[in-house]
């Protein structure tokens, strides 16, 4: 159960280092399954963008049905934290250090999924379009201010903006 409120903070220059620290642990552990590098995604991956202080990460694997991923991630201190829609999206979700007060969230997608390319496209768009990034920050701040505990509403409120740009 999530304990952390939805709190949007100004960009923190330490976020890329926080990503790199965990990427350096995850990539070697998942090497037997990975089909590409572990990527920094989400708002913390966009320099200057206000964000929840949770580092979102993306990994791609050949098959969602891969054996051993949950045990491998648990062995390096990551917790399996299934989200609604994971199975339909052919995705695994893991959190570090725990699901209630996470600092990192890893999304492991089956390579054939059509979801992960949109995450990279959205990140890349925001990195190169500061006006859209600023508009996205305002939207997230407004949604969090309305109710900092209603995650489904927060995600649903961001969805049209994300869909428009990715």
d(CA 41, CA 100): 20
Q: How far apart are CA 94 and CA 106, in angstroms?
A: 5
- Helix H or strand E segment including 39: strand 39-41
| Residue that has been written with the tokens 């965990």 in this structure | 22
pLDDT higher than 70, residue 1: no
pLDDT surpasses 90 at 166: no
Mean pLDDT of 98-110: 95
Domain spans, the chain: 15-165
Mean pLDDT, the chain, whole residue set: 95
CATH number, domain 15-165, options 3.40.50.620, 2.40.50.100, 3.40.50.1000, 3.30.460.10? 3.30.460.10
Element (H, E) at 73: helix 69-75
Q: What is the pLDDT of residue 66?
A: 86
Span 137-154, pLDDT tens digits:
999 999 999 999 999 999
DSSP H or E stretch at residue 141? helix 130-146
**Whole-prediction pTM value?**
0.94
């Amino acid at each position: 159960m999530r304990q952390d409120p939805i709190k949007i903070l100004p960009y923190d220059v330490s976020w890329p280092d926080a990503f790199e620290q965990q990427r350096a642990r995850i990539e070697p552990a998942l090497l037997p399954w990975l089909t590409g590098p572990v990527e920094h995604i989400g708002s913390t991956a966009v320099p200057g963008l206000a964000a929840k202080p949770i580092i979102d990460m993306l990994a791609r694997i050949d098959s969602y049905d891969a054996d051993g991923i949950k045990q491998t991630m648990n062995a390096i201190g990551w917790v399996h934290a299934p989200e609604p829609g994971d199975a339909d999206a052919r995705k695994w979700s893991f959190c570090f250090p725990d699901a209630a007060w996470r600092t990192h969230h890893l999304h492991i997608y089956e390579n054939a999924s059509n979801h992960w390319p949109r995450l990279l496209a959205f990140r890349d768009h925001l990195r190169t379009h500061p006006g859209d990034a600023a508009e996205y920050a305002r939207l997230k701040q407004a949604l969090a201010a309305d109710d900092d505990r209603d995650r489904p509403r927060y995600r649903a409120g961001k969805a049209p903006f994300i869909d428009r740009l990715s």
